[in-house]
Structure 1
Amino acid sequence: MKKTALISVFNKKGIVDFANQLKELGWDIIASGGTFKTLTEAGIKAKDVASIVGGKAILGHRVVTLSREVHAGLLARDINEDHQELKQLGIPWIGLVCVDLYPLKEEINNPKATTESVIEKTDIGGPTLLRSAAKGQRIVVCDPNDRQLVIDWLKQEEPNRNEFITQLAAKAEKVVADYCLTSARFHSQGNNEGVIAEKVLTCKYGENAWQTPAALFSHGSDDPLALDKFKVIAGTDPSYNNLCDIHRLVQTVTHIAAAFDLNRGKIPNIAVGVKHGNACGAAVGSDKNEVIKNMVNGDKRAIFGGLVITNFEIDQETAQTLISYNMPEGEQRILDGIIAPSFVDGVNSFLERKTGKCRLIENKALGSELGQKSLDSTSAFRYVRGGFLAQPNFTFVLDLNDPDLEKVTQATERQENNILLAWAIGSTSNSNTVTLIRDGYLIGNGTGQQDRVGCCKLAVNLRAKDAGHDTNGAVAYSDSFFPFVDGPEVLAEAGIKVILASKGSIRDQEVIDFCKSKGIILYLIPDKKARGFFGH
């Protein structure tokens, strides 16, 4: 039986080389109009698909491969009866399809796109070819990155054929599903929504050991800070809980970077430690080793067994500081993982644990891509029983020059830097939250409380003071307004000198008057514009 491949691609890059290798392997080639022209001009013998369907493309090239003949060649079963029928009809058995799709997403994202232009870029023939080829158990190539893989597999005489073509078919179905979802989302004006993703990492189990299976899925984002872009260079793959914490760490570190980028025009060295989603240590500064020390000092007890992220390379000095600073002589701090742009050679020897290695996870984008543009702007989904919730992502960044920011009294530049850090941490911690910062590092994060005064007491007493910190002169951030003056009273008693909160309470004036009476610098911003609720 002759080996026949059908090639129809919008993007012609690399297609000549692929077709040429197929020819060398003895394949006949059928190609649609533009692809046929590209191949023949390159000296590759091919047959125009029009010769099979009995006529040239019609209706402005809208109907080319949408024909009985083409799909018969793809859907015929590999049995004698079907082969004989194809032969009688003069239709070739098509064993391989190489197809890409019109760039629908790119057109939709074009600011000048119209309904008509989107319709023009909506592929019908391509998805139909892919699905017919997948159903017919043909070799389906829908990703240019798979072309050489297929060539190599053919040269090896098709080992594990069923498994290989099934994987290609599944990929084609996923590509078509995502394409159709994109179209449905556009035409429904957001009333249709969904997620198409591919498993990229299998976790040993989920949040708890009895929750299996568990996995990380990727929807193929080009975001350099997407979780599938983080590479484990030492230790075991991250667990489900690790991945949740890495996601939260990225939220916090990008918001810190964005705040300093917007307000100061430069990004400091940043280190953040997290346990169960919330920052338990965080610091910024010019000296990397001091930043690590201050981050650890935030809560030396809570950071034990946690994850740490930095926007700078981890060398032997900073690695040694991470595990030994403020530890009893001869003991070292256990960390579950460290995430950084890079690690110097040999640093893993400093971080070895008695039972397994500390995970070292690398993403170079942490050192080069942070700033206002590094915030995640894709829609945020959350599963709920029977469906999911969707909302715009958390992309607000505190602007100290915002005309809506009411400065009851003016803070110093150093105090404002602490405000920026407090805001970025508090607004990416589970609400309700009150966050305390002093001298460029976190000293108390009062998270997840049902009342605001409870947040203040937690941040001051059970976080800052319990960790040995002096709260006098510190900065406090509240992720929403104070409904009563009792919260500021707790902060004032602790010696807090600067408070950033939202406004919108019927008792705003009481809070303002109280802070003035205590000499507390107060910054207020409208709750509807800048409330920092997170993690519900």
Structure 2
Amino acid sequence: MKKQALISVSDKTGITDFAKGLKEQGYDIISTGGTLRTIQEAGIEAAAVEDITGFPEMLEGRVKTLHPAIHAGLLAKRDNDMHKQQLEEKGINPIDIVVVNLYPFKQTLDQLNVTEADIIENIDIGGSTILRAAAKSFRDVTPIVDPDDYNEILQAIQNDVLDMTIRKKLAAKVFRHTAQYDTLIAGYFTDDVFPENYTITYEKVQSLRYGENPHQEAAFYKTPFESPMSLASAKQLHGKELSYNNIQDANAALSIIAEYDKPAAVAVKHMNPCGIGMAGDLNTAFSKACDADSVSIFGGIVACNRTIDADTAEQLSGIFLEIIIAPAFTDEAFATLTKKKHIRLLELRMDEAKINSHKLTSVNGGVLVQDNDNKEISRDDLTYPTEKKPTEGELDDLWFAWKAVKHVKSNAIVLANGRQTLGIGAGQMNRVGAAKIAIEQAGEKTKGTVLASDAFFPMPDTVEEAAKAGITAIIQPGGSKRDQDSIDMCNRYGIAMVYTGTRHFKH
């Protein structure tokens, strides 16, 4: 009995060469629709599925392979005498190779102005069923879903090494492929934000040298669709391959820089900002970010929201940095920065709207899912509980600091002046401890600064420390049972306090 291969693909890349190779190895080919025409037009003999099933394609091609003559040929166990007898009685030949890739559902979703009818028509039923049947029968059937595997499979056939190990590996690939396909379809139909079954899928970008530490393996994955302000969409222009920690820190830098619409620069170390500056031009903005903490920026990641010009590049080149991210680099800036062999330069558009997507955090045996902290408030949402109200200049700095503090690990305190961070207290077990670190970092510059707190003050001790340091205004969510104690402390020292009504814990 001759070996049979069933080929039905929407992506016809490399399919005629593969079909020709199968014919040369003694396979009969069965095919459908456009695939059949492509193969035959290449001069390769192939039979139509309907010649095998005795039943024509119908319902505009919705039904063509869903037939016992196909599925019995896939699902029969070759070492089962009863199965073999039933195939013989029905005149059904086993199918040895299945080459199928599915209707382009994802690509259809990506199209502009696509109709729901088009989306529905691009949900593959027969192809998915064939693939799953072939993968289930991997001991006897070779299931192929990826054109990149054609050459390897042909070589294995030619060398007579197409063994169970290879077929099982291909079966796993099929089930991953159909699982992702079904996940995208389920996502399209699901309106619930947190449904009873939360299914997600990612595509591999690259394997990483290691994870947080050299003894940990790691890889970088992206969502199936392009995401604005995502490192997966960035173009690396220069430098070494990104590491796990690079990606974490760079993602933190992108999240922070997205908060500011005027020229701004942020420096990040260990997923916390060490300096943020905003000004009328990028060169000045970066000077502020660098001066905010000229020690911690060493070995850091810098993100800018404007094209990096020659002057800014000169400043950047004078510091050891791991990564620089920007919408673009001028030719002069690129020439200056690429004198450093290993520095990574990433180009990424920053004019896209932010996505209100979910954040996933793994825990032992499960995962936590929440909305990203993208709630936006305006200055109209602010309230002013103290006797002293902030000046316009103070209010500008309070707003600048408030956008920064949401990206600092809790408990978090940020001091700022002149749209520049001057002291950052991150990840402390108590709020007053975070304030003391920020005040110590700012040093003599503390006097006249403003303070932002990611959460309310449970006691007035943080306000008292601020008053001693000469801080003139505070922004915080409010909402403590002891808010009045902090208000009274502000009134005692003539400090303006502003409430946002929104908390920004970051764990």
* Fold-level similarity (TM above 0.5): yes
Q: Deviations over 1:89-142 (max 9, x none)?
A: 3548464523324749989xxxxx99xx99998654332222344436646346
Q: Secondary structure at the match of 1:304?
A: coil
Partner of residue 179, structure 2: 177
Residue 61 of structure 1 deviates from its aligned partner by 7.7
* Residue 191 of structure 1, aligned match among 188, 196, 220: 196
Q: Secondary structure at the match of 1:488?
A: helix
* Structure 1 stretch displaced more, 90-99 or 509-518: 90-99
Partner of residue 341, structure 2: 357
Rounded Cα–Cα distance in structure 2 between residues aligned with 1:249 and 1:132: 46
Q: 1:37 to 1:165 in 2, by over 3 A?
A: closer
Partner of residue 53, structure 2: 53
Q: Match of 1:464, as an amino acid? A: A
Q: Give yes or no for the alignment of 1:525 onto 2:500.
A: yes
Partner of residue 112, structure 2: none
Partner of residue 407, structure 1: 384
Q: Match of 1:500, as an amino acid? A: I
Q: Provide structure 1 residue ranges, at least 5 long, that are not aligned to the other structure.
A: 108-112, 258-266, 325-332
Partner of residue 496, structure 1: 471
Query: What does 1:112-511 align with in structure 2 at a 5 Å threshold?
Result: 123-134=124-135, 135=138, 138=142, 140-141=144-145, 146=147, 170-181=172-183, 186=190, 190-209=195-214, 211-254=215-258, 256-257=259-260, 267-324=261-318, 333-345=319-331, 347=333, 350-351=336-337, 357-366=341-350, 368-369=351-352, 373-375=353-355, 377-402=356-381, 405-408=382-385, 411-461=390-440, 463-465=441-443, 470-511=445-486
Residue 490 of structure 1 deviates from its aligned partner by 1.6
Tell me, yes or no, if the aligned pair for 1:49 and 1:65 is still in contact at 8 Å: yes
Residue 318 of structure 1 deviates from its aligned partner by 1.4
Q: Match of 2:417, as an amino acid? A: R
Identity %: 31
Q: Match of 1:494, as an amino acid? A: A
Rounded Cα–Cα distance in structure 1 between residues aligned with 2:29 and 2:428: 66
Q: 1:339 to 1:228 in 2, by over 3 A?
A: same
Rounded Cα–Cα distance in structure 1 between residues aligned with 2:158 and 2:420: 57
Q: Match of 2:236, as an amino acid? A: V
Tell me, yes or no, if the aligned pair for 1:398 and 1:423 is still in contact at 8 Å: no
Tell me, yes or no, if the aligned pair for 1:335 and 1:358 is still in contact at 8 Å: no
Q: Match of 1:49, as an amino acid? A: V
Tell me, yes or no, if the aligned pair for 1:36 and 1:48 is still in contact at 8 Å: no
RMSD over equivalenced CA pairs, Å: 4.5
Q: 1:106 to 1:452 in 2, by over 3 A?
A: farther
Rounded Cα–Cα distance in structure 2 between residues aligned with 1:218 and 1:78: 40
Partner of residue 110, structure 1: none
Q: Deviations over 1:33-57 (max 9, x none)?
A: 7x589989x9999865344333356
Residue 310 of structure 1 deviates from its aligned partner by 1.2
Tell me, yes or no, if the aligned pair for 2:282 and 2:308 is still in contact at 8 Å: no
Query: What does 1:44-123 align with in structure 2 at a 5 Å threshold?
Result: 49-56=49-56, 64-74=64-74, 89=91, 91=93, 93=95, 95-101=97-103, 103=105, 123=124
* Structure 1 stretch displaced more, 17-26 or 434-443: 17-26
Q: Match of 2:257, as an amino acid? A: V
Q: Secondary structure at the match of 1:473?
A: coil
Rounded Cα–Cα distance in structure 2 between residues aligned with 1:46 and 1:187: 44
Rounded Cα–Cα distance in structure 1 between residues aligned with 2:412 and 2:419: 19
Rounded Cα–Cα distance in structure 1 between residues aligned with 2:338 and 2:8: 52
TM-score normalised according to structure 2 size:
0.78
Q: Deviations over 1:164-186 (max 9, x none)?
A: 98887654332212234456775
Partner of residue 488, structure 2: 513
Rounded Cα–Cα distance in structure 2 between residues aligned with 1:74 and 1:315: 62
Q: Match of 2:504, as an amino acid? A: G
Rounded Cα–Cα distance in structure 2 between residues aligned with 1:88 and 1:395: 62
Q: Secondary structure at the match of 1:220?
A: coil
Q: 1:287 to 1:183 in 2, by over 3 A?
A: closer
Rounded Cα–Cα distance in structure 2 between residues aligned with 1:51 and 1:490: 86
Tell me, yes or no, if the aligned pair for 1:433 and 1:446 is still in contact at 8 Å: yes
Rounded Cα–Cα distance in structure 2 between residues aligned with 1:306 and 1:407: 37
Q: Match of 2:370, as an amino acid? A: Q
Tell me, yes or no, if the aligned pair for 2:238 and 2:344 is still in contact at 8 Å: yes
Q: Match of 2:459, as an amino acid? A: F
Aligned positions, number: 483
Q: 1:118 to 1:19 in 2, by over 3 A?
A: closer
Residue 349 of structure 1 deviates from its aligned partner by 6.1
Residue 59 of structure 1 deviates from its aligned partner by 9.3
Rounded Cα–Cα distance in structure 1 between residues aligned with 2:326 and 2:29: 48
TM-score normalised according to structure 1 size:
0.74
Q: 1:93 to 1:506 in 2, by over 3 A?
A: closer
Q: 1:246 to 1:305 in 2, by over 3 A?
A: same
Rounded Cα–Cα distance in structure 1 between residues aligned with 2:330 and 2:84: 61
Q: Match of 1:200, as an amino acid? A: V
Rounded Cα–Cα distance in structure 1 between residues aligned with 2:404 and 2:372: 16
Q: 1:345 to 1:119 in 2, by over 3 A?
A: closer
Residue 507 of structure 1 deviates from its aligned partner by 1.7
Q: Provide structure 2 residue ranges, at least 5 long, that are not aligned to the other structure.
A: 110-114
Tell me, yes or no, if the aligned pair for 1:5 and 1:96 is still in contact at 8 Å: yes
Rounded Cα–Cα distance in structure 1 between residues aligned with 2:158 and 2:497: 70
Q: Deviations over 1:435-485 (max 9, x none)?
A: 111111111111111112112111111x211xxx51233222111111111
Q: 1:386 to 1:3 in 2, by over 3 A?
A: closer
Rounded Cα–Cα distance in structure 1 between residues aligned with 2:297 and 2:89: 72
Q: 1:288 to 1:36 in 2, by over 3 A?
A: closer
